């Protein structure tokens, strides 16, 4: 799975166990009151491969495995964040996610017979530092988002995003270079 090769999440006992564990801990996180900050911080450390200082994730949140996601410092996610981390997802420092952001490392084969056999694929995602992802944006498998970039609301990001740009649309395309950047 992490090598980007076909895998079967429903037929692999190890993956089933990892997924069930993640769902259990994420559900506990989502049900933990916001004022129980220490418990929520403990649960985030238990969910993710690593998480930096001062993270905040508004409930409801979902991820497939959690341990394949690595988050930097000062991360903020509004309600409805989904991370399908069947491959690694690296999120830099100072990243902001508006409501309903979806980050999909998982995908399905285009060949119908392979898909019908229950096989899936996953490609790594990398989101740089100081990135703002607008509401209901989707980051697709294998994408890298450069530092300081902005993803417009409702965008579907199918290709790498250079640093220091604003992208939007479906598929997302560069709308402008940010002022004061190269």
Residues 6+ apart with CB under 8 A from 25: 43, 46, 47, 66
42's CB contacts (< 8 A; 6+ apart) are none
What SS3 class is residue 31?
Answer: helix
d(CA 61, CA 78): 9
For residue 175, give Cα distances in angstroms to 55, 79, 108, 119, 168.
30, 27, 29, 36, 7
Q: Which of 20, 45, 108, 159 is catalytic?
A: 108
Q: Is 90 a catalytic residue?
A: no
CB 81, CB 115: distance < 8 Å: no
Q: Active-site residue numbers?
A: 108
């Amino acid at each position: 799975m992490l090598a980007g090769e076909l895998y079967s999440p429903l037929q692999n006992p190890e993956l089933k166990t990892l997924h069930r564990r993640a769902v259990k801990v994420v559900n506990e996180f989502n049900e933990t009151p916001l004022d129980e900050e220490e418990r929520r911080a403990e649960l985030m450390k238990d969910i993710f491969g690593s998480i930096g200082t001062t993270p905040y994730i508004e409930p409801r949140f979902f991820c497939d495995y959690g341990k394949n996601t690595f988050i930097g410092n000062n991360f903020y996610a509004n309600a409805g964040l989904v991370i399908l981390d069947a491959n690694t997802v690296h999120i830099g420092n100072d990243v902001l996610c508006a409501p309903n952001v979806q980050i999909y490392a998982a995908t399905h084969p285009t060949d119908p017979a392979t898909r019908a056999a229950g096989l899936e694929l996953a490609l790594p995602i990398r989101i740089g530092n100081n990135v703002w992802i607008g509401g209901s944006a989707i980051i697709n498998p294998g994408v890298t988002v450069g530092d300081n970039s902005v993803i417009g609301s409702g965008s579907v990001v199918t290709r790498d995003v250079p640093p220091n740009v604003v992208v939007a649309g479906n598929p997302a395309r560069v709308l402008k270079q940010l002022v004061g950047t190269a």
